[in-house]
């Protein structure tokens, strides 16, 4: 949004009696705030002035104001010779695109000099494009985060791996599951192997006595085999 302050001056108006003089028209894609309007009497006698806000902005959906029209800010306000009338002191009026401020003086032509102070609020095209790009990036990130939230990061059972689930299972989850299963299988194998070795040693000792002990454990044949078997 680009905000600029401007002053609009007219040396003498209106050019024709009875015809409102357009002091200002709000530009396209612009909102204008009227900060102040000063009308000075430059005639040789007292004059009266009327200032209007002419608006064609769309339906407001407000009671007694279903569509904007022309409103009068001041009507037939007297301005003595050598004096000025300050309007909207401390107040503000908003003009939307194509809205106008007009003034009129019925008695004398070119009897008013005016000074209009405004603030223009204009939405830049570049800013619009940037906002759209940021919005698209945010939406993309939201969608990506949503998709990532549906990815299965841990497998607890081999039955979890199906053709359908493979679409959402991460590669690291599959690798971790395989590694865990191999570790469990290795531990079970070593445990079973130790049991088999113990049974085999017990069988040898019971059936071959001290000679077997000399061969297997490297001890003398007079060792009590029953005690060794009990400890194995």
**Domain limit, last residue, from 122, 139, 168:** 122
* Structural domain includes residue 130: no
Please answer whether residues 127 and 1 qualify as being in contact, where contact means their C-beta atoms are separated by less than 8 angstroms: yes
Q: Note whether 114 and 225 are same-domain residues.
A: no
- DSSP β-bridge partners for residue 102: 22, 52
CB 79 within 8 A of CB 48: yes
Are residues 64 and 165 located together in one domain of the fold? no
3-state SS, residue 11: strand
Same domain, 83 and 177: no
Please report whether residue 46 resides in a domain.
yes
Interatomic CA distance for residues 210 and 182, integer angstroms:
41
Is residue 169 predicted with pLDDT exceeding 80? no
- Rounded distance between C-alpha atoms, residue 212 and residue 219, angstroms: 9
Q: Looking at the structure, do residues 112 and 188 belong to the same domain, yes or no? A: no
Residue range of the domain that includes 188: 158-231
Q: Which residues of 11-35 are buried (b: 16+ CB within 10 A; e: fewer)?
A: eebbeeeeebbebbebeeebbbbbb
User: Would residue 129 count as lying in a domain?
Assistant: no
172/114 same-domain check: no
Dist. CA 18–CA 108, nearest whole Å: 10
Is residue 23 a part of any domain in this protein? yes
Residue 133 lies in a domain: no
Looking up residue 49, the CATH number of its domain turns out to be 2.60.120
Same domain, 8 and 87: yes
Q: Hey, what are 202's tokens?
A: 């017990």
- pLDDT per position as a tens digit, 36-90: 999 999 989 999 999 999 987 765 555 555 667 788 999 999 999 999 999 887 7
pTM score, two decimals? 0.50
Q: Do the domain assignments include residue 132?
A: no
Residues 95 and 14 occupy one common structural domain: yes
| Pair 16, 104 in one domain | yes
In angstroms, the CA 214 to CA 220 distance is: 6
Structural domains of the chain, count: 2
Do the domain assignments include residue 175? yes
Quick check: is 144 in a domain? no
To the nearest 10°, the Cα dihedral for 39, 44, 48, 50? -40
- pLDDT band of residue 173 (cuts 50, 70, 90) is confident
- Within this chain, do residues 100 and 12 fall inside the same structural domain, yes or no? yes
What is the Cα–Cα distance from 117 to 3, expressed in whole angstroms?
A: 13
Digit-coded pLDDT (tens) for 122-161: 876 555 555 566 566 655 554 554 444 556 666 777 677 7
Q: From the centroid of its chain, how far is CA 176?
A: 37
For all residues of the chain together, what is the average pLDDT?
76
């Amino acid at each position: 949004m680009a905000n600029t302050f401007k002053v609009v001056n007219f040396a003498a108006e209106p050019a024709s009696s009875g015809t409102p003089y357009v002091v200002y028209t709000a530009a396209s894609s612009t909102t204008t705030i009227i900060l102040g309007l000063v009308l000075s009497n430059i005639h040789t006698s007292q004059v009266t002035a009327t200032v209007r806000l002419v608006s064609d902005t769309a339906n407001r959906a407000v009671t007694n104001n279903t569509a904007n029209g022309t409103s009068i800010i001041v009507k037939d306000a007297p301005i003595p010779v050598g004096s000025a009338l300050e309007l909207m002191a401390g107040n503000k009026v908003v003009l939307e695109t194509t809205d106008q401020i007009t003034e009129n003086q019925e008695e004398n032509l070119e009897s008013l000099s005016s000074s209009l102070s405004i603030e223009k609020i204009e939405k830049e095209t570049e800013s619009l494009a940037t906002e759209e790009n940021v919005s698209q990036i945010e939406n993309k990130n939201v969608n990506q985060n949503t998709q990532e939230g549906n990815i299965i990061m841990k497998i607890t059972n081999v039955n979890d791996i199906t053709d359908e689930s493979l679409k959402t299972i991460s590669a690291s989850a599959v690798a971790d599951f395989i590694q865990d299963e191999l570790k469990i299988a290795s531990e079970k194998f070593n445990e079973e192997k130790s049991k088999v070795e113990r049974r085999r040693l017990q069988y040898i000792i019971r059936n071959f006595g001290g000679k077997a002990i000399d061969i297997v454990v490297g001890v003398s044949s007079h060792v009590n085999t029953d005690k060794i078997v009990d400890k194995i």
